[in-house]
Amino acid sequence: MKERLEEIKTKGIERIENVKNITELEQVRKDLTGKKSELSKVLKSMNDLSSEEKKSIGMLTTEIKTSFVEKLNLKEEELIASLSVLEEPIDLTLPGKKVNEGALHPITQMKNDLNDAFLSLGFEVYSEDDISSEKYAFDNLNFAKDHPARQSMDTYWLEGTEAKEGAERLCLRPHLTGGSVRYLQKHGAPARFVYPGGAYRNETTDARHERAFFQYEALIVDKDISFSSGMVLIQTILEKVFGRKINTRMREGFFPFTEPGYEIDMECLVCCGKGCKVCNHNGWIEVMPGGVIHPNVLKSAGLNPEEWTGFYINIGLDRLVMMRYGIDDVRLFHSADLRFLKQFK
Amino acid sequence: MRVSLNLIKKYVDLPKNLTDKQIAYDMTLRTVEVDKVEDVSLKYHDIVVGKILEVKKHPNADRLKICITDIGEDKPVQIVCGGSNLYEGEYVVVSKPGAEVVWHGEGEPVKVEETKMRGETSYGMICAASEVYLSDFFPSDNENEIIDLKGIDCKPGDAIANLIGMNDTVLEIDNKSLSNRPDLWGHYGIARELSTIYNVPLKNLSKYELDKNLPKYNVEIEDTTKCNRYVAVEIDGIYEKESPIWMKSLLSKTGQRPINAIVDITNYVMMAVGQPLHAFDRNHVNGEKIIVRNAKENEELLLLDNNTIKLTTDDLVICDEKDAMALAGIRGGKKDSILPDTKGIVLEVANFSASAIRKTGKRFAEKTDASIRYEKGIDTQRIDEGLSLALELIKEIFPDSKIIKYSDVYPNRTKKNEIKVSEEFLDTRLGKKISKDKIKQILISLGYEVSYNNGVYDVMVPTWRSTGDVTIKDDVMGDIARILSFDSFEAKPINITIEHPIIQNDVLLNRRIEEYLSSRCGFYEIYTYPWIDEKYIHAAKIDISKSLKLATPPAPSLAYLRSSLIPGMLEAIAKNLRYYNEFKLFEKAEVYQKGDYRPSSNDEILPIQNNYLTGCIVGKNAKEIFYEAKGVIENMARYCHMENIKLEKIEKPNYADINAYLNVTKDDEIIGSLGLLSVQVMSDSKIKRTNVAIFEINSDKLDTYNSRTNKYERLPELPLVEKDLSILVDKEVEWNKIEESIKSMVKEIEFIDEYKGSQVPSDKKSITLKVKMINEFTTMTSEQINEKINNVLKVLNKKCGAELRTE
C-alpha cells in the first residue's frame, strides 16, 4: 500500500511539473485531489486494514494530498505569472500613439513664464490697446516736441490724424511705456504691475529688426526706493527664463521717460560672451532698457515726484526668446509658419 | 561718430596699460555705447615704402615693367608693374604678399600673393592710391599712376600706416545714442568724460588768443531768436591748398573727406570740439557785410551743383548785401565756395537755435554734419573754443596769413543751469551713501561748479550741458550714478506690503482659453501683423468702410488695419498649405474700427478696439472639420470656466458657405461666428484642394466665473440603463428636433452617428442615438425598459416621423 502511495506521489508530482497551462492544471488538480482521484480510491480501499495501518496510511495520504495542493498552487502562480494579455509579443520599437498636437507661440510661452514670476512677486498684469495717441505715446513720457521718434519715419500714424497733435494724433503704439501713465492715472500709487504686448515701429526689417515686436514692461512706483532695486527684478526675470544665473551688465542709456536711464545687457548665450554674429561680436546682448521714472512722467500721471519715485524695466521679448532657443531671425515670430511653430511644443 | 583715440590722447593722458577695448568698455558702461573698436592700421598691414632701384623692360609685355625695388628687406625684390610714372629712385607704396588691396579701387579687398605676371615673378605690387585706401592722401585723376612719395620723409620698409598717421584705434559710436549729449559731438567732450572716468586731468584745448583790437567786420543779426551769436573773422593770405598729412589722417579716420586746407580746418575743428564753422571766400561777400536774416518767401539759394532751392520765411540764411550765400547751420551755397582764386576768407563761427535748424533741416530732408550738431543744442560759449583752435590751425598751416577784421555779435548767451540737490535725495535714490569728496570730484571733473551747504549741494551746470541735457536734480543724480557705474550698486531688495490678493479674472480667462485651444484642442497659436494685405481683406469680403488706415504703411497694399482676424488667418492658411495638408491654427489679437472710445481722458478719442479670437481647422472632410470646430466652441465655456455661449443660426457671415455656418451668441447678442469657408472665399485667397472650418469670437464679450459654478451630483445608487437605437427619418429632420422630442422622457440622450447612402432610401437618413434611463428607486426590469423604449419610439414616430431601423 505504501509503495502504491509513493508511486502516486511521484507520478502526481511529475504530472504537476509537466503542466503547460491553466486548463491542464485544473484537469490535473481534479485528477490528483478530486473525488475520483487515486488518493480517494486508496482511502476507500482502506476498510480491510488495521486501525494502526489506517492511521498511518491516512496520515500519509493527507500528507501527499497537501503536497499536491501546495505544488499545484505553486504551479498555478507560476503559470499566471507567465500569462500575457497578448497572443504574441509585439514590436516594442513601434512609435507610441500621437498625442494631441498644438502649442502656444514661443512669445506667449515666454510671456506666461514672466507673468508667473511677476505674479509671485505680487505684481498685477495690465494690458492696454494697440492704438494710442501722441499724448500717451510721447507727450506724457517727456519726449521733446520735435523728438525724431514722433516722425512718420519712426511711428505708424493713422491716416487722417498724422497732421494733428497730442490726443488727436493717433498711432499704433511705438512702445508699451505709454500704458504706464494710463495705469497710474486710474489706479494711483503705490503701484506694481507688468504689461506685456505688441509694439509697432516704421523700420526697415531684417533678421534683427521687425516692424511689429513684443515687449514686456514692469513698473514699480513707491516711496523712497532706489534705482538699484530694479536689479532684483532683472535677476528674477533672467533666472526664471533661463533657469540659472545669467551674467548681466548695467550701462548708461538714455530715454526721455527715465532719469537716470540704463540699458541692461546679458551675456550672449549663443557664444557665451566670446562674440558672434548674434551679438554683433561684442559678447553682450541688449535685452532690457530701464531706469528711474522721470519726474515729468510722474507728473503727467498725476503723482507728485517729490513724494513718489519708481522704475521701469522694459524687456524685449523677441530678443529674449531668440536667446532662449537660438533663433536667428526675428521675422519668424510673425510668419505664422508651422514649420517654425511646431518646434515649440 | 568716429572717435580717434590718438586725438583723444592729445587732450587727456589716459592711465598706462589700458587697452583700447577696456576704454571702449568703460565708456560703454558710463557714457555711451561703443559699437565697434576698430584698429585702423589693419587696412594697411604689409603695405610699406619701397624705393625703385632699377626699371627694366618686361620681356613678354610692352605695357609692363620690371622694377627692382628695395623694400627694406635683406635683398631688393622684383615687382612687375604697369604704372605710367615709374622711374629709378622713385619712392613708392608696395603691397607685399599678404597685404589686402582693392583692384582698381573697386569691389572687395583681395589678398596679394607672390605671382608670375607674363612669366616674370612679382613679389607683391606697386600700388595706385585707390588700390590701398590712400586716395584721400594722394589724390590722382589718372588710374595708371602709382603713388609717388616724392617730398615725403620716409625710407624703404617704413609701414605706410605710420607714414599717414593710421596707427590708431577708432571707436565707433552710433549717432542715435548721442542725441541727448550735444557735448559729446566732438573729441574734446569725449576726452572730458574719459578724464572723469579715470580721474585724470583734462588738458587745455588751445592756447591761441585772438587780439580783439581789430577793425570790426560788419555783421548784422536780424532774427536774434534764431541766431544766438555770430563771430566773423576776416583773414587774408588763405588760398586753396592741400592739408598736411596729419590733418588728412584725422579727417579720414573720422569719416570726413579731405578737400582743401580751408575746408579741412573747419571740419577738423568740428570733429575736435563739436562746433561747426564755415568759411566764405571774402571776395564773394558783396559789400563786406554779413546779414543773418530770415529768407524771403520763395527766395532762392544757388547750390554748388547749380541747383537752386526755394526758401520760406522760416528759413534762416546768411547773406551779403546782395543775396543769400548759405542756409544757416546747414549748408553753404555756390557763392561762398573756396575756389582756386581765393585769396582770403571770412570765417564764420556761429550759434543757431536748435529748433530753427531742425525745422529747416526737416523740410529739406537734409542732415549735414553741421546741422546734426546744431539740432542737438550747442552752447554759445563753444564758439570761443572752436575759434581759438581754428585760428591756431590757420596760423600753423597758413603761416603768412593775417587776421584783418573781427566781429562778435552775441545777443543770447547760454546760461548755466542752477540746481539744488540735497544729500538726502542722493542717499535715498542712489540707495547708498557716497562721500562728499567723491561727489564733488565727479561733478567738478564733468565741469560742474559745486558748493555744499547744510546737506545741500548747490550745483552750476556747465554751459555745454545746459542746453536741455541737465535741468533737474535727477539729471545730476544720474551723472553721479553712471560715472560710479550702475553695475557698482548692489541690488537692493524691495519691501512690499501685502494688502489684498491679486485676482485678475480676465487675465486668467485669457490664459485658460489659450491653453484650452493649444493643449486640449490641438491648435497652434500664430501672430500676424495688424496691417493686412488688401487681397485677403477682399477675399474675406470685409467691409472696409469702418477700417482704419496707416498714413505711411509698410507697403501700399498693407495700409488697412485689421477689423477682423479672418483675413490674416486666410493668409496664414494659404502659406502653410504649401507644407501641410491638415492643421489647426488660432490667434488672439486686437481688431480696430472707426468709432469713439475714451479709455483714459476725455480729449483722447481712440478708435474702437476689441480683443478677438479666431481659429481654423484645415482638412479634406468638410463635414468632419465643421463638427470638430463646433465642438471646440461648444466645450469652451465648460473647460475655460466662463459664462455659457451658444451656437445658433442667425445671419450668414460673409466668409461662410451657404450651408454651414452658425453664430456664437451670449445673452442673445451675436459675439462671433463659425462656419466653413465658402468656395469663393477659398478661391480668392488661393486656398486650394482642401476645406476650412473657421471661427471668430469677440473675446472681450466672454465673461469668466468668479469661481467654479458646477454642482456636485450624487453618484447614482442604481445602474444606468443604456440602449442604442437606430432610426430612419426624412433627410430634413434635424437632430435638434429629435433630441427635443424625447428629452424629457429619458435621463440622457447622446448622438452616435448619422448615415446617408445606399443602405437607406434616398430621401431618408439613419440616426443612431443612445438613450440612458434610470428608475428612481428600483432597478429597471426588462419589461420596464422595453416599455420605455417603445414609448420613446412612439414619440419619435409621431413628432419626427421616425421608424426603428431594422437590419
Does B371 or A237 have the greater pLDDT score? B371
Nearest to B348 by CA among B286, B290, B272: B290
What is the nearest CA distance from B506 to chain A, expressed in angstroms?
A: 10
In B, residues 429-468, which contact A (CB 8 Å cutoff)? 429-432, 468
B592: left (phi over 0), alpha (psi -120 to 50) or beta: beta
B79 and B10 in a common domain = no
Distance from CA of B531 to the nearest CA of A (A): 10
Burial of A196 (C-beta count, 10 Å sphere; 0-12/13-18/19+): buried
Query: Based on the domain organization, do A193 and A328 belong to the same domain?
Result: yes
Contact B572 A185 (CB under 8 A): no
Residues A204 and A261 occupy one common structural domain: yes
Assess whether A147 and A73 both reside in one domain: no
Contacts of A125 in chain B (CB under 8 A): 504, 507
Residues 6+ positions from A205 with CB-CB distance below 8 Å:
A211, A331
Cross-chain Cβ contact B550/A159 below 8 Å: yes
Q: Do A135 and B561 touch (CB under 8 A)?
A: no
Is B530 in contact with A337 (Cβ distance < 8 A)? no
Give how far Cα B112 sits from Cα of B2, B75, B84, B125, Å.
29, 20, 21, 8
Helix (H) or strand (E) holding B315: none
Chain A residues with CB-CB distance to B475 below 8 A? 259-260
Residues of A whose CB is below 8 A from B526: 105, 336, 341
Task: Name the DSSP letter for residue A321.
Answer: H
Mark whether B673 and B732 lie in a shared domain: no
DSSP B517: I
CA atoms within 13 A on the CB side of B458: 4
pLDDT at B765: 94
Shared domain for B229 and B306, answered yes or no, is yes
Whole-angstrom distance, CA of residue A75 vs CA of residue A65:
15
Over the stretch A89-121, which tens digit does the pLDDT of each residue have?
899 999 999 888 999 999 999 999 999 988 888
- Least Cα distance to B652 among B541, B775, B561, B577 occurs for B541
Q: Is residue B494 part of a domain?
A: no
On whether both B761 and B678 belong to a single domain, the answer is no
Residues A120 and A50 in one domain: no
Task: Tell me the torsion sign for CA atoms B156, B160, B165, B167.
Answer: negative
A98 within some domain: no
Low-confidence ranges of chain B (pLDDT < 50): none
B592 contacts chain A (CB < 8 A): yes
Among A97, A98, A99, A104, most B C-beta atoms within 10 A, so best to mutate, is A104
Q: What angle do CA A42, A43, A48 make, to 5 degrees?
A: 90
Sign of the CA dihedral with A199 first, then A202, A203, and A204 last? positive
pLDDT score at A298? 95
A30, A47, A81 — which closes off a domain? A81
* SS3 state at A86: coil
pLDDT of residue B807: 58
Identify the domain containing residue A39 by its residue range: 2-81
Q: Which three cell numbers stand for residue B696?
A: 471668430
Which residues in chain A touch residue B603, judged by CB atoms under 8 angstroms apart?
Answer: 135, 166-168
Residue B790 grid cell = 417603445
Question: Are residues A64 and A183 both part of a single domain?
Answer: no
Query: What does DSSP assign to residue B466?
Result: T
Quick one: cell of B202? 583734462
Which residues is B162 bridged to in the sheet?
A: none
A101, A125, A337: residue with CB nearest B507: A125
Dihedrals phi, psi of A293, to nearest 5 degrees: -60, 130
Closest Cβ opposite residue B511 in set A112, A124, A222: A112
Q: Where are the alpha helices (DSSP H) in B323-422?
A: 354-363, 369-376, 382-397
Residues A43 and A157 in one domain: no
Distance CA A92, CA B736 (A): 46
A291 and A252, same domain (yes or no): yes
Contact A294 B474 (CB under 8 A): yes
Q: Do B530 and A251 touch (CB under 8 A)?
A: no
**Same domain as A249, residue A151:** yes
What is the extent of the structural domain holding B192? Answer: 2-35+173-197
Quick check: A124 and B530 CB within 8 A? no
What is the distance between the alpha carbons of residues B416 and B757, in angstroms, rounded to a whole number? 93
B25 in contact with A, Cβ within 8 Å: no
Q: Which of B33, B511, B601 sits opposite A167 (nearest CB)?
A: B601
Q: Which residue of B has its CA nearest to A122?
A: B502
CATH code of B119's domain: 2.40.50.140
Nearest CA in chain B to A155: B552
* DSSP E strand boundaries for chain A: 124-125, 131-133, 170-172, 191-200, 212-222, 248-253, 258-267, 284-293, 309-316
B615 class by beta-carbon count within 10 Å (0-12 exposed, 13-18 middle, 19+ buried): buried
Judge whether A101 lies within some domain.
Answer: no
Chain B residue numbers touching A167 (CB-CB < 8 A): 601, 603-605
| Whether A251 and B486 lie within 8 Å, measured CB to CB | yes
Q: Does B585 touch chain A (CB under 8 A)?
A: yes
Q: Which run of H or E residues covers position B660?
A: strand B656-666
Q: Give the residue from B16, B26, B21, B40 showing the smallest Cα distance to B169.
A: B40
**pLDDT attached to residue B347:** 95
Instruction: Please tell me whether residues B555 and B688 are part of one structural domain.
Output: yes
**CATH number of the CATH domain containing B439:** 3.30.56.10
Judged by CB atoms closer than 8 Å, whether chains meet at B502 and A124 is answered as: yes
Count of domains for chain A = 2
- Give the model confidence (pLDDT) of A285-300 as tens digits: 888 888 999 999 999 9
Residues B276, B374: Cα–Cα separation, whole Å? 8
- β-bridge pairing B2-4 and B125-126: unpaired
Residue at A147 is within a domain:
yes
**Residue among A157, A262, A338 whose CB faces B583 most closely:** A338
A217 with A166, same domain?
A: yes
CATH number (domain holding residue A171) = 3.30.930.10
Has residue B117 been placed in a domain? yes
- The grid coordinates listed for A38 are 487515486
CA atoms of B174 and B177, how far apart (whole Å): 6
How far, rounded to the nearest angstrom, does the alpha carbon of residue A156 sit from its chain's CA centroid?
Answer: 35
Check whether residue A45 and residue A134 sit in a common domain: no
Asked if B525 and A103 come within 8 Å (Cβ–Cβ), the reply is yes
Please give, rounded to a whole number of angstroms, the shortest distance from the CA of A76 to a CA of chain B. 35
pLDDT interval class at A84 (50, 70, 90):
confident
- How far apart CA B241 and CA B418 sit, in angstroms, is 47
Chain B residue with the nearest C-alpha to that of A251: B29
In a domain, B212, yes or no: no
Of B644, B670, B701, the position where a domain reaches its end is B701
Q: Hey, what's the cell of B382?
A: 563753444
> How far is Cα B291 from Cα B246, in angstroms, rounded to an integer?
35
Q: Is B572 on the interface with A (CB under 8 A)?
A: yes
Which residues in chain A touch residue B363, judged by CB atoms under 8 angstroms apart? Answer: none
Could you give the dihedral angle defined by the CA atoms of residues A169, A170, A174 and A177, in that order, rounded to the nearest 10 degrees? Answer: 80
Greatest pairwise CA separation for chain A in angstroms: 129
| Judgement on whether residues B337 and B273 belong to the same structural domain of the protein | yes
Residue B658 falls inside a structural domain: yes
Do B70 and B103 reside in the same domain of the chain? yes
CATH number of the domain enclosing B382: 3.50.40.10
Query: Does B321 share its domain with B223?
Result: yes
Q: CB distance from B603 to chain A under 8 Å? A: yes
Single out the residue in B667, B701, B735 at which a domain terminates. Answer: B701
Q: Please indicate if any CB of chain A lies within 8 Å of the CB of B363.
A: no
| Shortest CA gap B521–chain A (Å) | 7
Residue B351 placed within a domain = yes
Q: Which amino acid is at B594?
A: K
| Position B563, amino acid | S
Q: For residue B494, give the chain A residue with the closest CA.
A: A229
Of A105, A200, A220, which has the smallest distance from its Cβ to B530's Cβ? A200
- Decide if A252 and B549 are in contact by the 8 Å CB cutoff: no
Is the same domain home to A280 and A185?
yes
Q: How many CA atoms lie within 13 A of B679 on its CB side?
A: 2
User: Does residue B227 share a domain with residue B252?
Assistant: yes
d(CA A275, CA A138): 35
The residue type at B215: P
Kindly state whether residues A308 and A169 are assigned to the same domain.
Answer: yes
Nearest CA among B120, B142, B132 for reference residue B92: B132
| Residue B613 belongs to domain with CATH number | 3.30.930.10
Using one digit for the tens of pLDDT, what is the confidence trace for B638-684?
Answer: 999 999 999 999 999 999 999 999 999 999 999 999 999 999 999 99
> Do residue B550 and residue A172 have CB atoms under 8 angstroms apart?
yes
Domain assignment present for B210: no
Q: Do B693 and B591 belong together in one domain?
A: yes
Asked whether residue A92 is assigned to any structural domain, the reply reads no
Instruction: Say if residue B461 is in the same domain as residue B549.
Output: no
| Rg, Å, chain A Cα set | 40
Our CA dihedral for B430, B436, B442, B445, rounded to 10 degrees, sits at: 160
B 483-522 near A (Cβ less than 8 A): 485-487, 489-494, 496, 498, 502, 504, 507, 511, 514-515, 517-522
In a domain, A91, yes or no: no
Residue B98 resides in a domain: yes
Taking residue B493's Cβ as centre, other Cβ atoms within 10 Å add up to 7
Determine whether the interchain pair A249/B579 forms a contact, defined as Cβ–Cβ distance below 8 Å.
no
User: CB-CB: which of A200, A226, A336 is closest to B575?
Assistant: A336
Residues of A in contact with B482 (CB under 8 A): 252, 260, 262
Q: Looking at this predicted complex, what is its ipTM?
A: 0.87
Three-state SS for B199? coil
| Number of domains chain B is built from | 6
Residue at B471 is within a domain: yes
Distance from CA of B514 to the nearest CA of A (A): 7
CA–CA separation, B340 and B150 (whole Å): 23
Domain-located, residue A122:
yes
| Residue B366 and residue B434 share a domain | no
Answer whether residue A304 is part of any domain. Answer: yes
Is residue A310 situated within a structural domain?
yes
Q: Please, which contacts does B308-314 make with residues 24 or more away whose CB atoms are closer than 8 Å?
A: B309/B364, B312/B363, B314/B356, B314/B359, B314/B360, B314/B363
Q: Are B370 and B185 in contact (CB under 8 A)?
A: no
Asked whether the beta carbons of residue B518 and residue A225 sit closer than 8 angstroms, the reply is no
Give the tens place of pLDDT for each residue, A17-71: 999 888 899 999 999 888 888 888 888 887 777 888 888 888 888 899 999 999 9
**Using the beta-carbon criterion (under 8 Å), do A228 and B491 form an inter-chain contact?**
yes
* C-alpha to C-alpha distance for B565 and B615, rounded to whole angstroms: 9
Chain-chain contact of B492 with A229 (C-beta, under 8 angstroms): yes
